[in-house]
Structure 1
Amino acid sequence: MQFLKRLLKIGTAEVHSAIDGIEDPITMTEQGIRDMRQDLDKSLEALAQVKAMSIRAKNEVQEYAAKGEDYNEKAMLILKKAQSGDLDSSEADRLATEALIKKEEAAAGQKRALADKEKFDLNVSQMESNVQNIKQNISKWENELKILKSRVKVADATKTLNKQMAQIDSNGTVALLERMKEKVAQEEALSEAYGDIAHNAKSIDEEIDKAIDVSKTKAKSELEKLKEELGITHSKE
């Protein structure tokens, strides 16, 4: 069956697309569904035609049955007219015989039409089964298409993310970040070193000032200078 071959083609396309990207599974699946819908339209058209033939055969069965009964009644009426003397007996026999022949022809036509109807009914049953099968496959693959589209979106997003992650080192981003981190660490160390130097320099100055008692020496010098200005002589100790 053509639609089964198309389903196999859809599956094959998906596998090939996953391997080497030759075929797009979404496009192939959508095309497969369109093909199945075309098959469905053709099958429904054929089914309608076969059903029409079955209905016509059924009508023929009824028509031939009615003709058979009609010719049988006519034969009886002819014989009754001959019996009553209204019709010549030989002529009545001839006409009644012709009516019965027509009855047999109608019976044969009825039998043939009935056989045709049975054949058409069998075809209708098989075609209805095929139509139902196509409808189920269309429904199935429409659901599969929704799933495939979701999977493709996830796959594309994952591929893009993984591709970006894979390109990070090649673009030197990680190396740049590592250099920036090292530079910050170096600046922090340099700042700490300057702090130590400033602290050590201040401590040495403080030690020197403490050793010579700068403030006391300066005050004493100022005192001697003031006494000289006032003419105060130095007392001997």
Structure 2
Amino acid sequence: MDLSLSMKDDLDNIRSLGTKLAEEMRKLTSNFRLGFGSFVDKNISPFSYTAPRYQTNPCIGYKLFPNCVPSFGFRHLLPLTDRVDSFNEEVRKQRVSRNRDAPEGGFDAVLQAAVCKEKIGWRKDALHLLVFTTDDVPHIALDGKLGGLVQPHDGQCHLNEDNEYTASNQMDYPSLALLGEKLAENNINLIFAVTKNHYMLYKVHLEGVREADGLNLGAC
């Protein structure tokens, strides 16, 4: 889930997502699990506000929304669970942050959700669905060079003991080909739940990801 500042108006809708997902999944199976993670962007310039005064509150001085949480790359907040109430409670606790440019670092999050199998709790023989919610465009491979990140993404899991993505400020964003490879490798079906004005862009990105393997992907 995108927790950048522009998502503040969408949080109420997202907070009911768990219940809605559960209702739909129960039409298919009684044995399903939900997990939750959030992302903003790399906490380096020019992607985020890096001056010392912004480190604890990147919204300081912003009159329309003066208080928000520090920026971060990706956090895995809830391993897959059959407790829908736990999912809803985790989503209710979330607060937005603020990055500097329009694109978000969501593809870092997708890659980690795909490859950190034990952390996420993916079950081997289950149907795997990854729902990606955002209201803006994503950063892609080579964008990291703007912040001095010349090392390509290595496609590995980099979640620490606190389930935070530790390589956010060390490696470039993953390429569409790498995303496709890792999603296919781990049998994950990706769904982009995006705002209408970015629907066509994500359809194009889906084609780029799909070229890596015969993936079952969708945008809505």
TM-score (norm 1): 0.20
Larger relative helix fraction: 1
Larger relative strand fraction: 2
